[in-house]
Amino acid sequence: MEILIFILIIVIALVIWSIATKINNKKLTIERIKEQWGQVPEKEYSFEKMKQLREYYNSIKDEFHDVDDITWNDLDMDEIFALINNTQCSIGEEYLYALLHKPCFDAEELAERNRLIKFFDENEEARINLQKNLCNIGQASKVSVFEYINRLGEQKSGNNLWHHLMNLSVFASIGLTFVIPSIGGILTAITIANNIFQYFKPKGQIENYINIISYILRMLDNIKNICKLNIPEIDKYTKSLEQDYDIFKKFKRGSVMLAPSKGPSGDMADLFFDYVRMIFHVDIIKYNRMLDFFKKNRHVLNRMYSTIGFLDSMIAAASFREMLGVYSEPELEKSDKPYIQVKDLYHPLIESPVANSIGESKSVLITGSNASGKSTFIKTMAINAILAQTIFTSVSRKYRASYFMIFSSMALKDNIFSNESYYIVEIKSLKRIIDRINDDIPVLCFIDEVLRGTNTLERIAASSRILSYLSKRNTLVFAATHDIELTHILENEYSNYHFQERIENNEIIFDYKLYEGRAVSKNAIRLLTMFKFPEEITTSAGDAAEEFLSKGEWSNID
């Protein structure tokens, strides 16, 4: 009797501890959600993490219209994603990662995204209530949720007979303790030890799948709670979730012993149930029973995945807008001639950015010295074009433009694995842009130092013709170059802009402002003087530059 009373006290204490822990966790969750709103998300991204994030996108990739890998890497879009990623669950961040790859060309879809973003920004209580449930869905451990959801449908159900026999041996030995206590006690200890030992091999083989089922159960629990929030502004999404949840009610029955389902972090009760699972293999048994139902309804689960991911992504976009302070809602249209107009555009990753403005329906050449801001500006333009057509947010005071497919050819490298030179990599990169030109959707492309991997003569000849070809198609080009010759050759087809610098007190100062016209600065030669190169070099170089600007050709050196 004393033992039973002691066990009862332990159980009551565990229950009280579990309840208190959950109440405290809820308070901490709300505090964290409020603190992180409008702030740079504090998350870490390993190589494996980034690989997991790609799985959902890989399943819906559109090779023709999407932001491809070259453009994504050129623009450091992983860092832009990390800046936006104030999602609460793995589903949300996987969905957001995919969404940023897929410019949208549908005005109604973008308007709906904007409606939700504005609602979440303006209605804190509703947003936090939704975020709490998304947070309870939580992060999947070391796996892609989408990948393993769909891998589950390919698994074969195991045989539960052996697990039932081991459970029977435990109950039989416990029963024997009432008849022959000494032998029964020893056999109980042996059978429990055997069951625990026999548990880990099959559990190890399916552990990731059980973790995903646990994740699914948490998702289902919190979908039920989300539907109970009765937020009219997301009614069409909650109705869809409710219908899908009803299909999965059967899936949930008896699943409490499979794995923790109420929250992403465990408590004392979960620790107790872990031992129950090890002894009686209830999670493995339930897993084997669930697989057939899961295979039949995988499409329903994927639909819930998309709905949850979309809502979480729109909340993250609202937080991003709050963090920016200065932003605009884009004005996008399907125009006869591609164009773009931006006011006070800036780069979201730069701590103290300099804003620039431009409006063009003509392709653009940008000249200027190294480090003057050319590459940063065209990256900023490209990033804003992507954000405008994905989360309907421009990092500027005003953004008006055509709908675009967006491509770049910038931060290229030699491909040592395929033994390709820099020039080969360049021309392949440019060819992929040419291949995507079409009459329906204009291409917005950004090129940094076109064909820098070859000699000056052929570079000028080939790059001028490539840029001319692009400008005459359904394309708007922004090209940064050091080749002043291009600004003369293409002056009838391209508008000229430049960045400049000045030298003060033997220091070079950049203002990072965009100016109309081609670059005329000769500071590169002045820097030679500043570093005390021989006068014979600096004077002659200055005279040669002046002669080229006036005659358009170089003279031989005497």
Number of residues that this document lists for the chain: 558
Q: What's the confidence (pLDDT) of residue 501?
A: 82
Q: What residues does 509 pair with on adjacent strands? A: 502
**What is the pLDDT, as a whole number, of residue 416?**
43
Instruction: Please count the CA atoms within 13 angstroms of the CA of 400 that sit on its side-chain side.
Output: 9
Tell whether the model's pLDDT for residue 205 goes beyond 90.
no
Higher pLDDT, 352 or 111: 111
pLDDT of residue 4: 59
- What confidence score (pLDDT) does residue 271 get? 66
Query: What is the average pLDDT value for the chain, to the nearest integer?
Result: 86
Whether 315 and 131 have beta carbons less than 8 Å apart is answered as yes
Record: fold of 63-324: MutS, DNA mismatch repair protein; Chain A, domain 3 (1.10.1420)
Of 3 and 27, more confident: 27
Sketch the domain layout of the chain as residue ranges.
Answer: 63-324, 331-521
DSSP 378-410: HHHHHHHHHHHTTSS-BSSSEEEEE--EEEEE-
**Half-sphere exposure of residue 452: CA atoms within 13 angstroms, side-chain side:** 14
Out of 69-78, 138-147, 504-513, 538-547, give the one with best mean pLDDT. 69-78
| Mean pLDDT comparison of 19-28, 390-399, 453-462, 493-502, highest-scoring range | 390-399
CATH number of 331-521: 3.40.50.300
Q: Which residue has the higher pLDDT, 520 or 302?
A: 302
* CA 504 and chain centroid, separation: 43
Tell me how far apart the 2 most distant CA atoms of the chain are, in Å. 116
d(C-alpha 368, C-alpha 500), whole Å: 6
Region 58-79: mean pLDDT is 95
Token pair of 201 as six digits: 């091999």
**b or e along 332-346 (b: 16 or more beta carbons within 10 Å of the residue's beta carbon)?**
beeeeebbbebbbbb
pTM assigned to the model? 0.85
